Amino acid sequence: MTLVDTVTWLSLVSLRDPAILCVSTNLSHEFVRPAGREGDVLYAEGETVKAGRRVAFARITFTDAGGRVTGFGAHTLALMPDAGASTGASTSTFTPDGEARVDEHARGKL
């Protein structure tokens, strides 16, 4: 379930300001075949199906090294653009490697 949550959220914030606040309203996962044993390769592909102003829908497909579907999931998120996050274009800044968000206050901007 953690992978469903994380990968689908990443698919959403790749389209929007990563500072937007959201909360999961529904999260599901279905196992199709065994996978995830030590040494196995597991691929996860997330996709935002629709992202409106207040609700977003995303899905994920898990496949093994042979390309066989091992599981799938869905994630519905309630978006809260007015809850302290920016509502316009993204003003977020990231470190050069893209791994961490740089705090605006630390950069001397408010």
The CATH number assigned to the domain holding 61 equals 3.10.129.10
* 25 in any annotated domain: yes
pLDDT digits (tens, 9 = 90+) for 1-53: 788 999 998 888 888 777 778 899 999 999 999 887 888 899 999 999 999 98
* 98 in any annotated domain: no
Residue 44 structure tokens: 């996860």
pLDDT digits (tens, 9 = 90+) for 68-83: 999 999 999 999 877 6
* 37 in any annotated domain: yes
Number of domains composing the chain: 1
Separation CA 108–CA 2 (nearest Å) = 35
Measured CA angle at 82 (ends 59, 107), to 5 deg: 95
Going from the C-alpha of 66 to that of each of 37, 41, 70, the distances in angstroms are 15, 9, 10
Q: Which residues contact 68 (CB under 8 A, 6 or more apart)?
A: 33
* 88 in any annotated domain: no
* 103 in any annotated domain: no
* 79 in any annotated domain: yes
* 14 in any annotated domain: yes
State which residues form the domain around 75.
2-83
* pTM greater than 0.75 (yes/no): no
Q: Are 45 and 81 within 8 A, CB to CB? A: no
